[in-house]
Structure 1
Amino acid sequence: MFWRKQRLNYKLDQSFLLDTKLRDMPFTVFDTETTGFAIAAYDGLIEIGAVHVDKLEVTDRVFQTFVKPLGEIPEHITKLTSIEQHHVENAPTPLEAIESYFQFIEDTKSGGWIGHHVSFDTLVIKKELQRVKCSYEEPSSFDTIDLIEYLNPSWDQRDLAEYARIFGTRTFERHRALGDALTTAHLFIELLKRLEDKGILTLADLLRLKHGKLLLKTARF
């Protein structure tokens, strides 16, 4: 039988002129928690958290939901996240949770997704939707890791909390989706302020930085 994908029609990426100042833009900073790292195989979502950032300020507009996975939460994940099976038993399905998250983004008129190792979190969303034959138009995304590497190219990769300590920003509950999203949001704002001193002022500048980092990573292999 041929299954046709259902396309989710949410406005996840507002249109901004390339010369828009980054300090004037809204963003969604988000994070996910999962049953493990084998997302392409059998692991899945157990929590989504997000916070709206606007004009270099972390707002009080936040999103958090548990997600009911297909299987049990492994013991080592419960120890890491403190999320137990009873937290997710009556939680929304992955599709329901993702649609609620997408609605939050649409309502806050985001200019793109921000995350720490954001490619993992976007992959989680994509794989969960693929499992239920759904697709969506992926918005622009920017990784705090890339911004840090641009500012300090000689650094090795470190834990999110360690970066927050180095850059003097707040740390919230670790290994929980909303806590890590808030930690990343405060770090992201500090990074943008430091990037201004490097001449990264507009959306076009940020896109050039992102694509330059992608080209560099590709050239390493």
Structure 2
Amino acid sequence: MFWKKKKMHYQLTQDKPLNTPIRDLSFTVFDTETTGFAVGSTDRLIEIGAVQVEGLHVTDRTFQTYVNPERDIPERITNLTGITEEQVANATDAFEAINKFYSFIESNGSDSWVGHYLAFDVTVLKKELLRCKYTFDEPLSIDTLDLIGFLAPSWDMRDLQHYALNFGTKIFRRHSAVGDALTTAHLFVELLHFLEDRGKTTLGDLADITRPVNGSSVFHR
């Protein structure tokens, strides 16, 4: 059966000039937690967390919501994340949770999404919306792994805590969506300082660093 997908409507800042200084940009750093990694089939979203970065500063503006996955949460995921069946039983569904997340982004005038291994989190949102017969246009998207790859190309691990420790940034509660978003945000700001020291100070510079290489990047307009 074929059906027409509807667009998820939201208003994000678009088409910023590439010479816009990074210090003048607003970033929404976010993370998701799920029941597992098979998000294209059986696994579902259980939490979204986000924090706002303005220029080179992590703000105190955060977002967090649990999501009812409409399925059980495996014991190993509860042990990892601390999220229980009871916490999500009366939570909103994925579609409404993503709407709330977009409202947070809109209210902060965001220019870009940021995440650590962002491709996974973007896939989670896309799959949940697809289940509701919705799609959306990605805003500018920056993965901290791309920035790390530029600054330290010999590093090949993906572990967020590993990078936070090596770059000397704060580590918040692990495997909590808002905790990992905060850790990523502080790591991201530190990476921006390193980039600035190398003369990378504009949106265009970020675009060059995160431009698709073998289709791996998720920097989009």
TM-score class normalised by the smaller sequence = over 0.9
Structure with more helix by fraction: 1
CA 1:18/1:78 → structure 2, altered by over 3 Å: closer, same or farther?
A: same
Q: Deviations over 1:127-157 (max 9, x none)?
A: 0000010111111111001101110111121
Counterpart of 1:215? 213
Counterpart of 2:77? 77
Letter in 1 for 2:61: R
Root-mean-square deviation over aligned CA pairs: 1.3
Percent identity, aligned pairs only, is 55
Q: Deviations over 1:161-204 (max 9, x none)?
A: 11111111101000000000000000000000001122211001
Residue 70 (structure 1) shift: 2.2
Measure, in 2, the Cα distance between the counterparts of 1:74 and 1:21.
Answer: 44
Q: Where do residues 162-173 of structure 1 align in structure 2 (5 Å cutoff)?
A: 162-173=162-173
Residue 61 (structure 1) shift: 1.1
Counterpart of 1:192? 192
Q: Where do residues 26-41 of structure 1 align in structure 2 (5 Å cutoff)?
A: 26-41=26-41
- In the alignment, is the contact (CA less than 8 A) between 1:29 and 1:53 conserved in 2? yes
Measure, in 1, the Cα distance between the counterparts of 2:140 and 2:94.
Answer: 22
Counterpart of 2:146? 146
TM-score where L is the length of structure 1:
0.94
The alignment status of 1:134 with 2:134, answered yes or no, reads: yes
- In the alignment, is the contact (CA less than 8 A) between 1:22 and 1:203 conserved in 2? yes
CA 1:132/1:185 → structure 2, altered by over 3 Å: closer, same or farther?
A: same
Q: Where do residues 74-153 of structure 1 align in structure 2 (5 Å cutoff)?
A: 74-153=74-153
Residue 60 (structure 1) shift: 1.2
- In the alignment, is the contact (CA less than 8 A) between 2:116 and 2:184 conserved in 1? yes
Letter in 1 for 2:213: L
Secondary structure in 2 aligned to 1:47? strand
Letter in 1 for 2:30: F
TM-score where L is the length of structure 2:
0.94
Secondary structure in 1 aligned to 2:150? helix
- In the alignment, is the contact (CA less than 8 A) between 2:69 and 2:93 conserved in 1? yes
Q: Where do residues 8-19 of structure 1 align in structure 2 (5 Å cutoff)?
A: 8-19=8-19
Measure, in 2, the Cα distance between the counterparts of 1:152 and 1:179.
Answer: 25
How many pairs were matched up? 216
- Structure 2 gaps of 5+ residues are 217-221
